[in-house]
Amino acid sequence: MKTHSKIVEYHLEASAFSWEISSGKSIEAWGFNKQVPGPELRANVGDTVIVKLTNNLNEQTTIHWHGIRLAAGMDGTDVVQKPVSPGETFEYRFVVPDAGTFWYHSHANETVQMERGMYGALIVEDSTEEIITDAERVFIIDDMKLDAEGAFTKPRWFIPRVVERHDGRQGDTLLINGKENPTIQMFAGHRERWRFINASSARYFVLNLAGREFSIVGTDGGLLESPRPVRSQLITPGERFDIIVGPFEEGDVFSLESLPYNRMTFLRPRREIFATILVGRPAPSVAHVPDTLRTIAQLAASHTEINRRVVLSVGPSLKDGMDFLINGSAHVNDKPVKVGELQVWEVINASLMDHPFHLHGFFFQVLEENGTKPAFTAWKDTINLKPRSKVKIAWMPDNRTGTWMYHCHILEHHQAGMMANFEVVADGMPIKEMAHVHTHHHHH
Ligand code: C2O
Ligand code: CU
């Protein structure tokens, strides 16, 4: 079954262009290869992915490979690389070690660049996976805040500015794969795998298929251990969920929508339609979804002692209305972690609104949510925290030393300071140096 790993090469050009979101309605988008989302990148587990990024924007940019366990230097943040200037090309090169639904997005001036469309899917397949479906689709959820002329605007006055910083930028133009309310046709009797990515700045998307049941089979870090039947699923900015839908009956028409979610901001929660599903004539199905998808080894017992606390809070600020903080400060340098030393972090949301917490480059397992063990095990890189709540997560820093980052994935909160850098450092010093330190000590 083992196939040879290949080199998969892509070229992404970042530029500004006009993008039609529905017939006759265009926006001034920024994106990759003149499309929103950018091209869907695909590779198999173990492949080496090479992406040449050419920047034809009028400002600097970088690409972050959200969820990929790559070397720190390829992570796309401005602490690990010089941002790519207009006219320049940068080559990203990394191995994709895990199967799953990942995505790439700008990691420079994100509140503008991502809002305008600089994101795309990166799907990593594993030929040994036992799930067989009749079709597979990727759905990238986004929204845009446009004025009556369809232009992106920045709030000019103090109060609207404070509100956008507080709530995150959420708009009324709802997009799925860069289009407004597209029609999705599928065959009756078919079962399909749908991969969802929430690429929006701040929208809490509660996936609902007009009440029809579907099964969750995967999340940020790949498959779950077994399918989980549900009727709705919250997908916060940065998160991914893979689901199995169908079979549906011929002639069935229903909407793919988001149920209201109150994330405790000034915004009024509403039910909103993102796409319309049309079920056509029946077709034979080859779908097979096993009850056991894989086994996930438990990283740590739920009572394992905590070795770090990360407190997310929001405090008043004279300049901007609100500050978004980690452990009481904005834009933090957190303590280093050592390779091979299990990390058990308690992430606390001390504020009165929700925040999706994202860790770059590593997957974690949730050991406890508000003191209770979750119902199932999963690999995550982004997790929502409700107001005044906490999660205990475990993750293992493997041998990828360098500077990493965690932050709230509401882009305006990240920008306003709810982020931290930290180092992954090699465990201890080389033996020779340690001997030296020892001798030196004795001289005193
Ligand atoms: Cu998808 Cu630093 O984020
Ligand atoms: Cu936040």
- C-alpha 89/C-alpha 213 separation (Å) is 46
> Is 169's C-beta closer than 6 angstroms to any atom of ligand 1?
no
Please give the C-alpha separations between residue 272 and each of 114, 174, 215, 365, in angstroms, as whole numbers. 21, 8, 21, 31
Ligand 1, atom 1: closest residue by C-alpha: 66
Q: Is 64 in the pocket of ligand 1 (CB under 6 A)?
A: yes
User: Is the minimum distance from the CB of 413 to ligand 1 under 6 angstroms?
Assistant: no
Select from 140, 150, 136, 235 the least CA-distant residue to 178.
140
Is 360 a pocket residue for ligand 1 (Cβ < 6 Å)? yes
Cα(130) to ligand 2 centroid in Å equals: 37
Q: Which two tokens stand for residue 55?
A: 């920047």
Ligand 1 atom closest to residue 407's alpha carbon, by position in its atom list? 2
69 pocket-lining for ligand 1 (C-beta < 6 Å): no
Q: What is the dihedral of CA 421, 426, 429, 431, to 10 degrees?
A: 180
What amino acid occupies position 95? V
Ligand nearest to the CA of 322: 2
For ligand 2, a single-atom ion, the residues with CB < 5 A are 355, 408, 410, 413
408 Cα: distance to centroid of ligand 2 (angstroms): 5
Rounded Cα gap, residues 84 and 111, in angstroms: 17
Q: Is the CB of 240 under 6 A from ligand 1?
A: no
Ordered per-residue pLDDT tens for the chain, 444 residues:
456 789 999 999 999 999 999 999 999 999 999 999 999 999 999 999 999 999 999 999 999 999 999 999 999 999 999 999 999 999 999 999 999 999 999 999 999 999 999 999 999 999 999 999 999 999 999 999 888 788 887 787 778 888 888 888 888 899 999 999 999 999 999 999 999 999 999 999 999 999 999 999 999 999 999 999 999 999 999 999 999 999 999 999 999 999 999 887 777 788 899 999 999 999 999 999 999 999 999 999 999 999 999 999 998 877 767 889 999 999 999 999 999 999 999 999 999 999 999 999 999 999 999 999 999 999 999 999 999 999 999 999 999 999 999 999 999 999 999 999 999 999 765 444 444 444 333 333
Q: Which atom of ligand 1 is nearest to the CA of 105?
A: 1
- Which residue's CA lies nearest to atom 3 of ligand 1? 66
66 lines ligand 1 (CB under 6 A): yes
Q: Which domains does the chain have, with CATH numbers?
A: 1-128 (2.60.40.420), 129-294 (2.60.40.420), 308-431 (2.60.40.420)
238 within ligand 1 shell (Cβ under 6 A): yes
Angle (nearest 5°) at CA 361 between 35 and 292: 90
* Cβ neighbours of 402 (radius 10 Å): 15
Q: Which residues pair with 253 in a beta bridge?
A: 278
Task: Note the Cα 2 to chain centre separation in Å.
Answer: 29
pTM: 0.94
β-strand pairing of 419-425 with 332-333: parallel
Q: Does residue 85 sit in helix, strand or coil?
A: coil
